[in-house]
Amino acid sequence: MIDFHTHILPKMDDGSRGTEESLRMLREESSQGISAVVLTPHYYAEKETPEKFLKRREASGRRLSEVIDESGEKSSLPDLFLGAEVKVFSGISSLELLPELAIRGTRYILLEMPFEPWPESIFRELSGIKARGLHPVIAHLERYLQLQKRTDNIERLMNSDVLIQCNTEFFLQGFKGRKAFQLLKEDRIHLLGSDCHNLTSRPPNLGSALDLIRKKLGENSVERLMHRSKKVLS
């Protein structure tokens, strides 16, 4: 399985504070049977230019690769793919370096939607992103459900040819998690991510969610997720 949303890349955002913590997080991913991890540090256009972000990301990825090589554990750890969690903003579809923020080697880009009711302009930006040959992946859909409750935005989003990523926490909240299993059963959740930031308050826990999905919906649901996640990275 592939963890599509993580903050493991060291010293990039509010996630891992250093390479040693990143290495421990990757060991934990491996222990849960995760074969690949997409590294998706936050990108906020209001805080830095894409050029500066990409330079920081390259340096951080290089440092992590060096530490992994020095550890002698590379063969036992998940494969790594550089990406970003890009906050949607007015004009994002025209950003020159937007393709560089997609998951490296793919045309898929992880997008964090605004935490407010979405205006029509947001859907125009999504259309503009797709017009550039990029495939939007909407990060942690569950966090927008209440915010869009009095609108048809969620239904409209799901019908707009995007991929939906949900976090493991959506499935691991007991009774409140019923909505997650309903959406997955309807094949309206396409990718999963732990959105891990550390080993304490927000650890890698995709394995726990997969175990629960197997128990409630059966192995076929897990296999469908695995097939789609591999297709995105292929």
Angle at which helix 219-233 crosses helix 206-217, to 10 degrees, equals 130
Q: Which CATH architecture has domain 2-233?
A: Alpha-Beta Barrel (3.20)
Average pLDDT for residues 16-41, to the nearest whole number? 98
Burial of 120 (0-12, 13-18, 19+ CB in 10 A): exposed
Average pLDDT for residues 97-104, to the nearest whole number? 98
Q: What whole-number distance in Å separates Cα of residue 206 and Cα of residue 214?
A: 12
Q: What percent of the chain shows pLDDT beyond 70?
A: 100
Q: What rounded mean pLDDT belongs to the chain?
A: 97
Average pLDDT for residues 74-81, to the nearest whole number? 98
Please write the tens of the pLDDT for every residue from 204-217.
Answer: 999 999 999 999 99
Helix or strand run (H / E) with residue 110: strand 108-112
Average pLDDT for residues 29-33, to the nearest whole number? 98
Which of 52, 82, 53 is closest to 65 using CA atoms?
A: 82
Q: What local confidence, expressed as pLDDT, does residue 20 receive?
A: 97
Q: What percent of the chain shows pLDDT beyond 90?
A: 97
Q: What local confidence, expressed as pLDDT, does residue 13 receive?
A: 98
DSSP 112-163: EPPSSPPPHHHHHHHHHHHHTT-EEEES-GGGGTTTTTTSSHHHHHHTSS-E
Q: What is the pTM of this model?
A: 0.97
124 pLDDT more than 90? yes
Read off the pLDDT band of 176 (50, 70, 90).
confident
Read off the pLDDT band of 177 (50, 70, 90).
confident
